[in-house]
Structure 1
Amino acid sequence: MTHIDEKPFKCDLCDSVFSRKITLQRHMRTHTGDKPFKCDLCDAAFSQKSSLKYHVRTHTGEKPFKCDLCDAAFSGKGALKYHTMTHTGEKPFKCDICEAALSSKIALERHVMTHTGEKPFHCDMCDAAFSQKGKIKYHMMTHTGEKPFKCDLCEGAFSTKRGLKYHVMNHTGETSAKCDLCDAAFSRKSALKHHVMTHTGEKPFKCDMCDAAFSRKSALKYHVLHHTGTKIFKCDMCDVAFSRKLSLERHVMTHTGEKPFKCDLCDAAFSQKTALKYHVMTHTGEKPFKCGLCDAAFITNSNLKGHIMTHTGEKPFKCDLCGTALTTKSALERHVMTHTGEKPFHCDVCDAAFSQKSSLKYHVMIHTGEKPFKCDLCDTGFSRKHYLERHVMNHTR
């Protein structure tokens, strides 16, 4: 029998001491990695019997601990305890480095790592490191492609339970977070927070290597990769590598030809949702990005930025072969092809080849006879918009 505060059981591998032998035995498993308690429903294993007990409830859905103040229920008593603090506002764990206060000890430990920069959990497949064990678990799924959380309403699958939860809201139309500055509504509070920044212009995440600033931490993370040159997402079909998984997924569609985003107003289809969004504006005539220096308006912000350079005279993209300066990166890429003679866009009907995809598109109309631009004053049709504009002038003279 031990007295209060007496801790006679010492760990031989670290400085920890315990009042009970069984507690020391449990602690030793953190050093040895021993996990004797196995789940019968999956491959999970645990160092403590109580951890297995709580884990099994993720399979059964059992949540015996109910909140007296709302309808929330939890599989563990500890989770209920910390949830109750969201009602009472109690935050007993204080940070010694700043004034932050947290509701749980583990939340405080995670918070302190934001000061120290400590990231003890390392990925075995890349250089990524994390401050939380749970985050490395979900990161690993970007390598394995595992998405265990399935949507019952469509074929969607997700790597996290939270991701599935917010996805389901897209089906139900549920929106719990509303913007006070416009009519926008969101299923996630964090999404509303980032949306409000589009009104305020706030960009709290600053790059240490240049003057760039971002409204989202994730955007800063991917921006930094442009400085470091890190590209961990590699294409299995060619040698191209990307800094973002989403960029890789879009790239793979150039190999597969997949275009899942269909236009409801015509037969056009696109590999990216944003491309469809901008395409629809060609039907509606919507041009939300206005020039402050003239009456011009554009479908995309990038087009507006390029236009503004025609007022300022700015041409930041220089050709290494002749010194020519251009307003956009894409314009520079097209210009370089005039030196190299590269024409990567080939016609399937004849031997013609072009340096620009748009030129191939218009060329194909010679074969198909397609003339999508119609004159409202007569029945004449044209393959290009500027041909139609010239034609209309003949009516107005």
Structure 2
Amino acid sequence: MMTHTRGKPFQCDLCNFVFSRKSNLKRHMMIHSGEKCFHCDLCDSAFSQKDELKYHMMTHTGEKPFQCDLCDSAFSRKFGIKSHMITHTGEKPFQCDLCDSAFSQKSHLKRHMVIHTREKCFQCDFCDSAFSRKSELKYHMMNHTGEKLFKCDLCDSAFSRKGVLKCHMMTHTGEKPFQCNLCDCAFSKKSALKDHMMTHTGEKPFQCDLCDSAFSQKSTLKYHMMIHTGEKPFQCELCDTSFSRKSNLKCHMMIHTGEKPFQCDLCDYAFSRKDQLKCHMMTHSGEKPFKCDLCDSIFSRKGDLKYHMKTHN
């Protein structure tokens, strides 16, 4: 009868919870004791509450009884659908006390608070790296294990992060959502756009320690350093030629295959490299951008200018 009168005489000695039934209190005490009496028959998982086992079984059966009325999403728990509905209403009830950020879920606020505390609780067992999120540690561990769970359906590429796979897929679709505001260039990655913007600003933050050269991109500095070291890690399998860049090896391979993918629209000429086609197009346009500083001669190719300079010497 206590369930009707709302009387709750059974008090937990370890916290403030009260219950109308002694059996409910008994089940609750398992949370404090760590006892897990309810075992899954399909895996090694065990739970302190029968309801938790019930919801767990849905991960095996795939059952999701709580359906969203506004979209096709479905959930195994009632609180899952409740949290999901906020994505439709735009409601963000969880407010950060230290800044203006607000979130639709309490767990998202909790993750956000780490930005303010700078706390990094998740330590890597193999190196000194530490992370504020468990998911970040999980991805980091793949650097040690070499595990790549996210596989491309269109080629053999595989990645350790879902976001990297998403960017990779744009190489197949040709999608380039990040547009430069100063020119017509567009990119599949935000970081690539950021690097490109330096070509407009002239900023070159990556300085060579061995000479005065500076670059707008870290990767360009990396390739430049190979000039000093003489390193050429990309070896042709058909001859002894090796290169410092993978793209150069790719172009070189066309010498062996005879492939010439860059076709002139004005004549029958075709080339294995894009820059060769660009130079060729100047024969049609008459453009000669390379000017001699010592006389009035002009040339369509830099190599021709270089050869011409010997006549002055």
Shorter-normalised TM range: 0.5 to 0.7
Q: Which has the larger radius of gyration?
A: 2
Partners of 2:91 and 2:212 lie apart in 1 by 62
Q: Is the 1:233–1:245 contact (alpha carbons within 8 Å) kept by the matching residues of 2?
A: no
Shift of 1:261: 4.1
Partners of 1:300 and 1:113 lie apart in 2 by 25
Pairing partner for 1:6 from 14, 26, 40: 26
Pairing partner for 1:315 from 224, 232, 237: 232
AA aligned to 1:59 is H
Shift of 1:249: 0.7
1:244-277 superposed Cα distances (whole Å, 9 cap, x missing partner): 3323313432xx8x79745736xx6455573795
Pairing partner for 2:253 from 336, 346, 365: 336
1:200-245 superposed Cα distances (whole Å, 9 cap, x missing partner): xxxx979447xxxxxxxxxxx7xx65xxxx882244xxxx454333
Q: Could you tell me which residue of structure 1 aligns to residue 54 of structure 2? A: 28
Pairing partner for 1:264 from 172, 182, 193: 182
Q: Could you tell me which residue of structure 2 aligns to residue 40 of structure 1? A: 69
Q: Secondary structure at the match of 1:292?
A: coil
| Aligned residue pair count | 261
Partners of 1:259 and 1:54 lie apart in 2 by 30
1:289-315 superposed Cα distances (whole Å, 9 cap, x missing partner): 444333444554444444433333333
AA aligned to 2:151 is I
User: How is 1:172-251 mapped onto 2 (pairs within 5 angstroms)?
Assistant: 207-208=143-144, 225=148, 232-235=151-154, 240-243=155-158, 244-251=165-172
Looking at both structures, which has the greater relative contact order when contacts are Cα pairs under 8 Å and sequence separation is at least 6? 2
User: How is 1:1-397 mapped onto 2 (pairs within 5 angstroms)?
Assistant: 1-2=21-22, 5-7=25-27, 16=47, 18=49, 24=50, 27-32=53-58, 34-49=63-78, 51-62=80-91, 111=134, 207-208=143-144, 225=148, 232-235=151-154, 240-243=155-158, 244-253=165-174, 261=179, 264=182, 269=185, 274=192, 277-278=195-196, 281=199, 288-298=205-215, 300-373=217-290, 381-388=298-305
Rate the CA distance shift 1:379–1:316 in 2: closer, same or farther, 3 A: same
Partners of 2:223 and 2:210 lie apart in 1 by 13
Partners of 2:102 and 2:227 lie apart in 1 by 60
1:151-205 superposed Cα distances (whole Å, 9 cap, x missing partner): xxxxxxxxxxxxxxxxxxxxxxxxxxxxxxxxxxxxxxxxxxxxxxxxxxxxx97
Q: Is the 2:103–2:109 contact (alpha carbons within 8 Å) kept by the matching residues of 1?
A: no
Percent sequence identity over matched residues? 42
Partners of 1:332 and 1:65 lie apart in 2 by 53
Q: Is the 2:234–2:242 contact (alpha carbons within 8 Å) kept by the matching residues of 1?
A: yes
1:311-363 superposed Cα distances (whole Å, 9 cap, x missing partner): 33333333322323333333333333333333222222212122211111100
Rate the CA distance shift 1:55–1:323 in 2: closer, same or farther, 3 A: closer
TM-score (norm 1): 0.46
Partners of 2:152 and 2:300 lie apart in 1 by 40
Partners of 1:56 and 1:376 lie apart in 2 by 70
- Long gaps (5+) in structure 1: 19-23, 99-109, 118-129, 131-203, 210-220
Residues 306-315 or 358-367, more deviating: 306-315
Partners of 2:263 and 2:307 lie apart in 1 by 29
TM-score (norm 2): 0.56
Partners of 2:266 and 2:304 lie apart in 1 by 24
AA aligned to 2:169 is L
Rate the CA distance shift 1:264–1:41 in 2: closer, same or farther, 3 A: closer
Q: CA RMSD in A?
A: 5.3
1:85-136 superposed Cα distances (whole Å, 9 cap, x missing partner): 98xx8x9xx99xx9xxxxxxxxxxx95996xx8xxxxxxxxxxxx9xxxxxx
Partners of 1:113 and 1:279 lie apart in 2 by 29
AA aligned to 2:182 is D
AA aligned to 1:363 is H
